[in-house]
Amino acid sequence: MKQSARPTIPQGRELLTLIFAIGLVLFMGIMTYAHWVEFRRANEQQDITRRIVRATNIVLSTLKDAETGQRGFLVTGEESYLEPYSEALSRIPKELTELTAVTASVSDQAQRVEAIKRLVQAKLDELLQTIELRRSNGSSAALSAVMRGQGKATMEQIRKICAEMESVADDRFARQSAEMLIRDNEIDLISTIGAVALLALLILATATIQRGTHRRQQLIRKLQKSGEESRQAREFYETTLGSIGDAVIATDANANTKITFLNEVAESLTGWTEEEAVGMPLDQVFVISNETTGALVDSPVVKALREGRIVGLANDTKLTAKNGSETPIDDSAAPIRDSAGEVTGVVLVFRDISERKKAEDELKQAEQRFRTAVSAVSDIVWTNNAKGEMEGEQPGWGGFTGQSLQEYQGYGWAQAVHPDDAQPTIDEWHRALAERRRFVFEHRVRRHDGVWRDCSICALPLIDSSGVIQEWVGVHTDITDKKEADRIFKESLERFHFMAESMPQKIFTANSRGEVVYFNQQWTEFTGLPFQRIKDWNWTQFIHPDDVQENVSIWQHSIDSGELYQFIHRFKRKDGMYRWHLTRAHAMRDEGGQITMWIGSSTEIHEERETQEKLARANQDLESFAYSASHDLQEPLRMITSYSQMLVKGYKDNLDGEAEMFVGFITDGTRRMRALLADLLSYTAVDARATDDTETIDLNLIFEEVCKNSKVSINETGAAVSSDPLPIIRGNRTHFVQLFQNLISNAIKYRSKSPPSIHVSAEQQNGSWRFAVTDNGIGIALAHHEKIFGVFKRLHSSSIPGTGIGLAICQRVVERYKGRIWVESELDQGATFVFTLPIGTEGRKVSA
């Protein structure tokens, strides 16, 4: 902050303006007051004048009242006329006094008032005289006295003086009014000029104040900004020091180095808070000693102060915190210099190195463990000196071969190597030594029990930083068992391939990544492509283009999940024709459950598939034929019915009994044929593709509906029909009405002598719904259990009516929903028709 940067406010001009404004206001006040006094005086004068005129008029009017009373009495002689007179008489003295008082301050008028007083007395005397005269001498005497005109003259005089007074007063009033007008105008003028002057001053003052305020605000902003900057800078350093991971302590440069700053990490390491620590001598807070000897160590601060340079701390230093806990630390101190280069303090940075110490210890331990482990593994670890000779104790080698140190040292180990392998091993060993490279070899070693074991060897030179070989470290691994396993695997693979080659199917194997590693010969024969061109993922080239994408994604899914792979696809034969194949592949897993390979086979199913498709087409054709046939047959049948009826109707009288009977047979035959056709229609309709099989059906409602449909026969036969709570399923409503209708109708129709008792049950069994319709009817002999489900198969003559298609419809419905239907019955034992529906076509079971 520089003092000179603060702009001063020019106070002289503002003060001048202020003084001038105050002077102006004072001047205006004095002027206005003076004028106001004048004005009030004039106003008072005017008031007196007005009161004189009024008092004069009152006196005059009262006199007139007295005169009026006198006249009335003189003429009539009646006392009552004197009332105004006597009243006026009583008022006169008070009014005269008032007049006197009012005029007191006006000298010329006072003289006139004295004259008036005298004249009023004279007038009153005259009036009294005439009244007395009337009383005593009658009216004529009194009147004549009046006639003499003395009273009238007196009155005239009074009036004249009064008029004079009024005229004088009027003049004065006019004069005073004019004077007041002048004063008034003067006040106006002074106010106007003053106001204009004040306004001008005000504007000037506002402008000045505005400028002043603006400057002041600028100043304040500048002050704030510079304050903010320095605060930010301080905060920045404090935050930085506070947030760094190392502990920081700053001290001054005095002899006992007092602490000036302590960051959070330092707080937690020393156990001192910044509040406590600041101002304390450093060696009380920062207590360090040698980790091993425990002797106190001088803090590097002293050295840094003395030498004026950055000082690091010796290793193995520990810090003792306030609470006595010890932490290994690593620290350094640096002097703080001001701009003049003078040392003003020291900053001490240190960190907790217990983690690092721990890691170092662990490394040491690991090395130890490694050395222990080496001696424990089944692999034989040995070391040779830089020259490649076995030297010193080799417990691994000795233990495996049974050789003693004397036997194996130098090149003695070669005695334990199979004679056929010994020389080649030594030759290769020499080459590796000469080329300073890795030695890799396999040979047979005689184990301590005399058995030859296959071993693989790997040895490496240990080279120090100067590039000199220190020693060789080698490992012998007994691979005899592995070799045996490999041989067995190879054999079994060969056997598998041999078997695969001899099979008519196309066989392949793939690795766990899904790459085909083996195709048997049938593939190359079929596709005309060599193995090399179709291996890995190249088999996709002979898959039909329409199948490839799905094929790859399904194969990939199996590879990822390990699930059975199964797909029907077309392969391109070498003649270019595509043939349908069914391919399946299983994953083979090792003991750990990891997939080791896939084994798959493809079977040509082209013929079967074509036959199947043909069959499906034929079935479809047959169904549509049956549908349209039964539909179209209705027409001519209707003709026969209608016209045979017409014949009976029109020729009733002309037909003999025999003819009528024939017509009866015709109509009966047509009726039965109609029923047959209707059933056949509904039978073929069950398989119609267009019907919606996904409606939600409450079978309880279906059951109710069927009972309602069969109401007549139920009532006629006295049947008891009941049901368990039935589930809600998905399907086509009509189908299930047909199913239940046929089964329940049959149960009523094929009843025994006792009234029918029918029950529908439903239960879940092995992932299916199992429904049963049980009756107590005539039952069905075992021999017929299959037959009854055939189209137009009937067991009974026309004594029990029926078309023989109801159960065929039932079977068709159940099979459409992937279920099964059968009958459990014996003759005369009642029957139970059972059908199943796989769960998945059903919803939830409705509780009772």
Partner 1 sequence: MITASRIFRILMVEDNPADVYLLRQALKHAGVNYESKVIDDGAEALEFVRNQTPTENEKFDLAILDLNLPAHNGIEVLAGVRQNGAFSDMPVVVLTSSAAPLERSQAEQLRVARFITKPPDLDDFLSIGYVLKDVLLDSEPRSVSV
Binding to partner 1 (CB under 8 A) within 446-505 occurs at: none
Interacting residues of 621 by C-beta distance below 8 A, sequence separation 6+: none
For the beta sheet containing 565-572, the strands, ordered from the edge strand earlier in sequence to the opposite edge, are 516-519, 506-511, 595-604, 578-589, 565-572
Report d(CA 735, CA 407) in Å as an integer: 95
Rank residues 422 and 637 by Cβ distance to partner 1 and give the closer one.
637
Contact with partner 1 (CB under 8 A) among 595, 599, 637, 676: 637
Rank residues 249 and 677 by Cβ distance to partner 1 and give the closer one.
677
Contact with partner 1 (CB under 8 A) among 218, 642, 696, 764: 642
Interacting residues of 473 by C-beta distance below 8 A, sequence separation 6+: 381, 382, 383, 459, 460, 462
Q: Which residue has the tokens 């019915």?
A: 641
Q: Minimum distance from CB of 812 to partner 1 (Å)?
A: 21
Residues 744, 748, 753: CA angle, nearest 5 degrees: 150
SS3 of the chain: helix, strand, coil, percent, to 5 = 60, 20, 20
Q: Which residue has the tokens 């290769």?
A: 428
Binding to partner 1 (CB under 8 A) within 136-165 occurs at: none
Interface region with partner 1, contact rule CB under 8 A, candidates 71-79, 309-317, 386-394, 640-648: 640-648
Decide: is 634 part of the binding site for partner 1 (CB under 8 A).
Answer: yes
Q: How many residues bind partner 1 (CB under 8 A)?
A: 14
Rank residues 77 and 650 by Cβ distance to partner 1 and give the closer one.
650
Q: Minimum distance from CB of 737 to partner 1 (Å)?
A: 17
Q: Minimum distance from CB of 628 to partner 1 (Å)?
A: 11
Decide: is 794 part of the binding site for partner 1 (CB under 8 A).
Answer: no
Interacting residues of 164 by C-beta distance below 8 A, sequence separation 6+: 112
Report d(CA 581, CA 506) in Å as an integer: 10
Rank residues 690 and 783 by Cβ distance to partner 1 and give the closer one.
690
Q: Minimum distance from CB of 680 to partner 1 (Å)?
A: 16
Interface region with partner 1, contact rule CB under 8 A, candidates 77-85, 187-195, 570-578, 635-643: 635-643
Rank residues 544 and 674 by Cβ distance to partner 1 and give the closer one.
674
Interface region with partner 1, contact rule CB under 8 A, candidates 21-29, 311-319, 631-639, 827-835: 631-639
Report d(CA 315, CA 218) in Å as an integer: 58
**Half-sphere exposure at residue 824, Cβ-oriented, CA atoms within 13 angstroms:** 7
Report d(CA 475, CA 456) in Å as an integer: 8
Rank residues 545 and 801 by Cβ distance to partner 1 and give the closer one.
801
Are 790 and 841 within 8 A, CB to CB? no
Interface region with partner 1, contact rule CB under 8 A, candidates 286-294, 346-354, 438-446, 643-651: 643-651
Between the CA of residue 214 and those of 113, 202, 226, 324, 679, what are the distances in Å? Answer: 76, 18, 18, 62, 106
Interface region with partner 1, contact rule CB under 8 A, candidates 88-96, 297-305, 627-635, 793-801: 627-635
The single-letter code of the amino acid at 322 is: K
Interface region with partner 1, contact rule CB under 8 A, candidates 230-238, 388-396, 638-646, 788-796: 638-646
Contact with partner 1 (CB under 8 A) among 104, 141, 646, 720: 646
Kind and range of the H or E run holding 71? helix 11-76
Rank residues 647 and 748 by Cβ distance to partner 1 and give the closer one.
647
> Of the candidates 375, 480, 478, 450, which has an alpha carbon nearest to the alpha carbon of residue 383?
375
Contact with partner 1 (CB under 8 A) among 366, 639, 781, 827: 639
SS (H, E, C) 707-758: HHHCHHHHHHHCCEEEECCCEEEEECHHHHHHHHHHHHHHHHHCCCCCCCEE
For the beta sheet containing 727-731, the strands, ordered from the edge strand earlier in sequence to the opposite edge, are 695-698, 727-731, 842-845
Rank residues 364 and 631 by Cβ distance to partner 1 and give the closer one.
631
Interface region with partner 1, contact rule CB under 8 A, candidates 174-182, 553-561, 637-645, 730-738: 637-645
> Of the candidates 132, 149, 202, 162, which has an alpha carbon nearest to the alpha carbon of residue 63?
162
Decide: is 651 part of the binding site for partner 1 (CB under 8 A).
Answer: no
Largest CA-CA distance found in the chain, in angstroms, rounded: 207
Q: Minimum distance from CB of 735 to partner 1 (Å)?
A: 16
Interacting residues of 332 by C-beta distance below 8 A, sequence separation 6+: 300, 310, 311, 312, 313, 348, 349, 350
- Please state whether 580 falls in left (phi above 0), alpha (psi between -120 and 50) or beta: beta
Report d(CA 623, CA 528) in Å as an integer: 43
Q: Minimum distance from CB of 646 to partner 1 (Å)?
A: 6
Decide: is 638 part of the binding site for partner 1 (CB under 8 A).
Answer: yes
Rank residues 634 and 761 by Cβ distance to partner 1 and give the closer one.
634
Contact with partner 1 (CB under 8 A) among 674, 730, 816, 845: 674
Decide: is 649 part of the binding site for partner 1 (CB under 8 A).
Answer: yes
The single-letter code of the amino acid at 69 is: G
Rank residues 203 and 646 by Cβ distance to partner 1 and give the closer one.
646
Rank residues 16 and 646 by Cβ distance to partner 1 and give the closer one.
646
Alpha helices in 602-656 (DSSP H): 606-650
Decide: is 635 part of the binding site for partner 1 (CB under 8 A).
Answer: yes
Q: Minimum distance from CB of 801 to partner 1 (Å)?
A: 18
Rank residues 383 and 682 by Cβ distance to partner 1 and give the closer one.
682
Decide: is 549 part of the binding site for partner 1 (CB under 8 A).
Answer: no
Report d(CA 174, CA 178) in Å as an integer: 6
Interface region with partner 1, contact rule CB under 8 A, candidates 126-134, 247-255, 395-403, 645-653: 645-653
Rank residues 204 and 640 by Cβ distance to partner 1 and give the closer one.
640
Decide: is 628 part of the binding site for partner 1 (CB under 8 A).
Answer: no
The two three-digit tokens of residue 509, written as one number: 């194997």
Rank residues 485 and 639 by Cβ distance to partner 1 and give the closer one.
639
Decide: is 643 part of the binding site for partner 1 (CB under 8 A).
Answer: yes
Interface region with partner 1, contact rule CB under 8 A, candidates 175-183, 454-462, 630-638, 706-714: 630-638
Decide: is 645 part of the binding site for partner 1 (CB under 8 A).
Answer: yes
Interface region with partner 1, contact rule CB under 8 A, candidates 151-159, 567-575, 634-642, 790-798: 634-642
Decide: is 688 part of the binding site for partner 1 (CB under 8 A).
Answer: no
Decide: is 672 part of the binding site for partner 1 (CB under 8 A).
Answer: no
Q: Minimum distance from CB of 641 to partner 1 (Å)?
A: 5
Output 792-796 pairs: Cβ under 8 A, ≥24 positions apart.
792/676, 796/750
Decide: is 641 part of the binding site for partner 1 (CB under 8 A).
Answer: yes
Rank residues 491 and 632 by Cβ distance to partner 1 and give the closer one.
632
Q: Which residues bind partner 1 (CB under 8 A)?
A: 631, 634-635, 637-639, 641-643, 645-646, 649, 670, 674
